Amino acid sequence: MRHAFPTVAALALAVALAGCASSRGLAPESQPRDANALEIQRSVGATSDAQFPTQAWWTALGDPQLDALVDEAFAGTPSLAAADARVRQAAAQAGLADAARKPTLGATAQYVGVMLPENIAGSDLGGNYQGVTLLGLNFKWSPDLWGGHAATWRAALDQARASEVEAQAARLMLASNIARTYIVFAQANAAHDTAEAEIARASHLTELAQQRVKAGLDNQVQLRTAETNVATARQQSQAAQQQIDASRNALAALLGKGPDRGLSIGKPGVLQASAPTVPGVLPNELLGHRPDVVAARWRVEAAGETVHAAKADFYPTVNLTALVGLASGHLSDLFTSDALLVNGGPALSLPIFDGGRLRNQLAKRDADYDLAVADYDQSLVGAVREVADAVQAARALDAQLQSANQARDAAQRAYDLSTARYKAGLGTQLDVLAAQRPLFQLDQQRDALTAQRLTATVDLQRALGGGLQIAHPIALDADASTASH
């Protein structure tokens, strides 16, 4: 063995070099994009004193009932249960990859009996039953000479971390959906109140029209017109009530409950829309706050590790096995010194010809890496765009709301003046109807703009990451973190 070792070593080195050479020309074609290359500061007016959202960002809307609904949803819904299960699944997969790179030791107890035919084994061995009892310890280990096993484990660990971040993303999405649905619920209630106010105005005008018809001052045309306005406002009130019921059902579903849970959701309070502000450290800091971007980055890291593992397959592997135990044909002799059994040694595996399997496997891993990079880059571009869209929408809606409020105030003054002149006999019902019509339209428009402005607030909080708290399900071991890449 001492004389044969140099020859075996030389052969192993030659094949290793051949395997390394066979992977030449294969490499990923892309690298993750630099986030700072996506300029956004001028588009959103980023400031250095702006902060990222807090973890409970929805509390800024200022409605305790909404806060309670989000807390209830976080206590357990099917969507969060599925996300948490995927985290445990990924963590277990990382554990399996970690276990595969470590030595194993197992115990065995076995009884084997055999009887060979005399016409095959002869009279000396054939025709006699022979039994052997075996007790032993099995040792197996494949040393990670090229770092492939550690790379596979790190890839699984990165995937587990991505799943952990995606579980946080599921919570962010759930909170966002509840907040957006709650805003729709609030808008429906506001629309209902607006329609009820219009019914009251139209009914009052109808009463005046009836009085003037009886006095012979107006005809039936004005009266029927006023009654039409009452019916129209009532239809709008009924439509708003339908939206209220649908929003309650949607909120109950988001909580993982049945529709009856929605019946106990009360009328929302006045929701607050905070001024849109963006931290000056964007877009680079999105890498640590935006869940989908963080998860995509972890998957890039995982894909890079699989490339390393695929390259390690081109090199020879060594498997160490050993069996130490006791074996005897008679149970009484099993624990004597003559029953000692030792078997084992190293086994060298050398990839020489594989029909292109290793090269195609590495090419696939390279393509997987390029795909992960593309997904990451797209997530980053999409995140920056969503931030800009939310900020610009919020600022535009603020201006529209200001104009709508000015128009509403002017319309109210015109209506009050027309009504006073009508009561005094100085104006006609047509003057009042003309002044009344913009009120209802402007109230509806203002309700819709308010809801859109609140939705823009939610969208901005989500686009900035919603106070992401990153947690790692598995910690790096010292030996793995220092392994070669």
Write out the two tokens for 69: 């609904």
- 457 lies in the same domain as 327: no
Mean pLDDT of 192-205: 84
Q: Are residues 254 and 128 in the same domain?
A: no
Q: Is the peptide bond before 283 cis (omega within 30 degrees of 0)?
A: yes
Report yes or no on 20 lying in a domain: no
Q: What is the pLDDT of residue 479?
A: 42
What is the extent of the structural domain holding 72?
25-101+147-315+356-481
Give the CATH number, domain containing residue 326: 2.20.200.10
**The token pair that represents 37 in the structure block:** 């290359």
- Residue 217 sits in the same domain as residue 307: yes
Q: Does the pLDDT value for residue 11 go beyond 60?
A: no
Q: Is 42 or 108 the better-scoring residue by pLDDT?
A: 108
What global pTM score does this model have?
0.79
**Which of 91-100, 209-218, 238-247 is least confident?**
209-218
Do 123 and 163 sit in the same domain of this protein? no
Sequence-distant (6+) residues with CB within 8 A of 333 are 339
Q: Mention every residue, 6+ apart, whose C-beta is less than 8 A from residue 380.
A: 33, 35, 38, 283, 286, 287, 293, 296
Pick 98 or 14 by higher pLDDT: 98
Q: Higher-confidence residue: 476 or 420? A: 420
pLDDT digits (tens, 9 = 90+) for 447-465: 999 999 999 999 999 998 8
- Verify that 370 and 340 share a domain, yes or no: no
More confident residue, 27 or 404: 404
Q: How much of the chain exceeds pLDDT 90, in percent?
A: 36
Q: What are phi and psi of 10, to 5 degrees?
A: -65, -40
Q: What average pLDDT does the structure give for the chain? A: 83
**Could you report the per-residue pLDDT of 326-379, keeping only the tens digit for each?**
887 776 777 777 778 888 888 888 787 777 888 899 999 999 999 999 999 999
